[in-house]
Amino acid sequence: MRHTSHGLLQVLTIFSFVLVVTFLLLYTHTVPSDVMDRYITLTSVLLFTSLSFGQTTTSTAGPATYTNPILNGVGADPWVTRHEDYYYMTYSTNDNITVLRSSVLTDWNNADVKLAFSPPVNTSYSYDLWAPELHQINGLWYVIFTADVDADSPSPNQDMLCDFTCPAVNHRMFVLESSTSDPWESDYNIKSELDTYDQFAIDGTYFNHSTGLYHVYSCWEAQYISWPSMLCISKMSDPWTVSSPLSERAVISRPDQPWEKTPYNRTVNVRLSSNEGPEQLVNPTTGQQFIIYSAARSDNRNYCLGQLELVGDDPMDPSSWQKYTAGCVFYQNPDAEVYGVGHASFTTSPDGTQDWLVYHGMHDYLTGWSARTIRTQQFTWNSDGTPNFPRPGIGPYAVPSGQTGSGSSATSSSTGGSSSSAGVSSSGAVGGSTSTVLQGLPTASASWGAWWPTYSSTWQTTWS
Ligand SMILES: *[C@@H]1O[C@H](CO)[C@@H](O)[C@H](O)[C@H]1NC(C)=O
Ligand SMILES: *[C@@H]1O[C@H](CO)[C@@H](O)[C@H](O)[C@H]1NC(C)=O
Ligand SMILES: *[C@@H]1O[C@H](CO)[C@@H](O)[C@H](O)[C@H]1NC(C)=O
Ligand SMILES: *[C@@H]1O[C@H](CO)[C@@H](O)[C@H](O)[C@H]1NC(C)=O
C-alpha cells in the first residue's frame, strides 16, 4: 500500500548497515569513547526507525481490517452517529450519560470520552440511565434516554399492584438538550420528561416522517400489566414534547411470533417476551422506512433483531406497519460463537457509500447481561429494498470505505503479526491518531440480573 515507505525503508536499512560496519571497523581501532557513544546512539536510532517503518509497512500492506468487539469491556445498547469528521457513540452506563468520540468506527478503545450528564440524586431520572441516543435536530443535539426514580426497587405498596413483580415499573423517558450546535463542546441539560402516560417506557427513539416527529419506545399494555413489552408510538410537537393523548397512543408491534417469545415459542407464561430497542432505518435509495427492533429477551442467546416496515401513510395507524414474520433478520451465529445480538443502531462509512450497523452481542451467553460487548458490521440492501443484514461474526472484516488511520492496534496485529491486543498499545505509533487514551471507561450494569429468572439462557432454538 505505502510504496514510498518501502523506498525509504531500503535507504534507511542500507544506511544503518553501513553505520554498523563502520562501527565495527572503528571498534578495532582506538577511538575516544564519546565518539563511540555517538555512533552507537545514531546506529540504534536508525535501526529502530527502519524496523518501525518495516512494521508499519507490513501492517498496512493488505486491506485494513478490524475485529469485533470494537470496545473492550462490557457494553450494551450502543448508539452511533456520524457528524463531520467523527463518529459519536453512547451506550448504557447506568449511572450517567457518557459520549465517546472517534475518527474511526472500528476501534473505540482510544476514543475521546465526555461525561455529558451526571444526574442529581433523588429525581425521577437519577438511576438506571439506559440506552441513550444522540440526535441532531433543528441545529441542536438531543439525548433521549431511559431512567428511573428508584433503581428498580418499587415499594411493596406499588409492586403489589403489578401482575407479576415489576422492578422496572417506574422507568420513563427523558430528553437532554445541548447548549450549542457542537455535540462535543456543548453542555447537556435536562429538558423534559417525555409523556408516556405514567407508564413503563424504555429504549425510546425519534421516528422522523414527512408527517412529523414521533416517539417510538418499548411499553406495557397498561401501568401495572408488567410485560410482555411492546412497541408504542406517540406524536411529538417538538423533540421534547409528546402531543398525543393516551387514547391516541398506538401499539405497533407485540412479541407475537415464536422467535419473539421468552420462554421461546411458548403460548403460556410468555411474560418475559420483549419488543424493545426500536431504531428508524431508511433505505437511502428507495426511501422505504423501517423500524428495526430487538426481540425475545436481552439476557439470553435468543435476543435478535426484528423488522417492521411502514407500508401505510400514517405511522400512528398500527395497520401501516408490516412485521417481517419469517424470523429474526439478524440473530445468533453459533459457528462464530456470537449470541444474543441486538439493540442495533445505524450509521455509514466515512465516505457515505456503505451502511453499517452497531450492535451488542455475547460470547459467553450463560453470563447474561454482563456478557454483552459492542460490535459493528456492514450491511447491504435486498432487491425489494429491505435491509440485508450479515451473519454476526468476529472478523477480521475490511474497515469501512474511506476510513483512514487505523486507530486500532488490533488492526495491525491481525495483518502485521504483532501480538498486541486492542487498546493496550498506543495507536499513535501505528495510525497517527491524536485521540487521547480512554480513561475510566464505564461498564454497563447487569442490575436486572438480580430480579429475573434466566432459565431461558440455555434454551435451544430451531435455527442454531
Ligand atoms: C427525595 O425527594 C422527596 C420528594 O421531593 C423528599 O421527600 C425526600 O426527602 C428526598 N430525599 C432525599 C434523600 O433527598
Ligand atoms: C427529518 O428528516 C428531514 C429530511 O431528512 C430533515 O430535513 C429534518 O430536519 C428531519 N427532522 C427532524 C426533526 O429530525
Ligand atoms: C413452536 O412450538 C410448536 C408446538 O410445540 C411447534 O409445533 C412449532 O414447530 C414450534 N415453532 C418453532 C418456530 O419453533
Ligand atoms: C459514568 O458511569 C460509569 C458507570 O458507573 C462510571 O464507571 C464512570 O466513571 C462515570 N463517569 C464519570 C465521569 O463519572
137 lines ligand 2 (CB under 6 A): yes
Same domain, 305 and 357: yes
Q: Is residue 359 part of a domain?
A: yes
CB distance 128 to 447 below 8 Å: yes
Same domain, 149 and 26: no
**pLDDT surpasses 50 at 430:** no
Same domain, 111 and 15: no
| Cell numbers standing for residue 438 | 480512554
Q: Is residue 138 part of a domain?
A: yes
Helix-then-strand count for the chain, H and E: 5, 23
Residue with cell 422496572: 168
Would the pTM of this model clear 0.75, i.e. be above it? yes
Span 105-126, pLDDT tens digits: 999 999 999 999 999 999 999 9
What are the start-end ranges of the E strands in 329-406? Answer: 339-348, 355-362, 372-381, 387-388, 397-398
Q: Is residue 463 part of a domain?
A: no
Same domain, 49 and 147: no
Q: Residue 108 CB: number of other CB atoms within 10 A?
A: 33
Question: What is the CATH classification number for the domain harbouring 131?
Answer: 2.115.10.20
Of 260, 265, 464, which is best to mutate to test ligand 3, by the most ligand atoms within 8 angstroms of its C-beta?
A: 265
Q: Is residue 462 part of a domain?
A: no
From ligand 2's centre to the CA of 227, what distance in Å?
33
Q: Which atom of ligand 2 lies nearest, measured to the CA of 136?
A: 14
From 59, 81, 107, the end of a domain falls on 59
Question: What is the model's pLDDT at position 37?
Answer: 59
**pLDDT surpasses 80 at 35:** no
Q: Which residues have any ligand 4 atom within 6 Å of their CB?
A: 93-96, 98, 115, 440, 442
From 25, 44, 59, the end of a domain falls on 59
Same domain, 129 and 35: no
Residue 277 CA to residue 260 CA, distance in Å, equals: 13
Q: Which atom of ligand 2 lies nearest, measured to the CA of 135?
A: 14
Same domain, 49 and 76: no
CB distance 157 to 132 below 8 Å: no
Same domain, 33 and 77: no
Same domain, 180 and 329: yes
CB distance 332 to 338 below 8 Å: yes
Q: Residue 272 CB: number of other CB atoms within 10 A?
A: 23
Count how many domains the chain has. 2
Query: Is residue 59 helix, strand or coil?
Result: helix
Same domain, 134 and 231: yes
Q: Which atom of ligand 2 lies nearest, measured to the CA of 209?
A: 1
CB distance 272 to 284 below 8 Å: no
236 lines ligand 2 (CB under 6 A): no
| 315: containing domain | 65-451
Same domain, 50 and 108: no
Q: Is residue 456 part of a domain?
A: no
Question: What is the model's pLDDT at position 63?
Answer: 76
CB distance 5 to 53 below 8 Å: yes
Q: Would you list the DSSP string of 255-266?
A: --SGGG-SSTT-
Q: Is residue 458 part of a domain?
A: no
Q: Is residue 457 part of a domain?
A: no
Alpha carbon 431 to chain centroid, angstroms: 22
From 59, 76, 101, the end of a domain falls on 59
Question: What is the model's pLDDT at position 426?
Answer: 27
Single-letter amino acid code for the residue at 424: V
Ligand nearest the Cα of residue 459 is 3
From ligand 1's centre to the CA of 441, what distance in Å?
31
Same domain, 81 and 225: yes
Same domain, 50 and 103: no
Mapping DSSP onto H, E and C, the string for 327-343 reads CCCECCEHHHCEEEEEE
Q: How confident is the model at residue 42 (pLDDT cuts 50, 70, 90)?
A: low
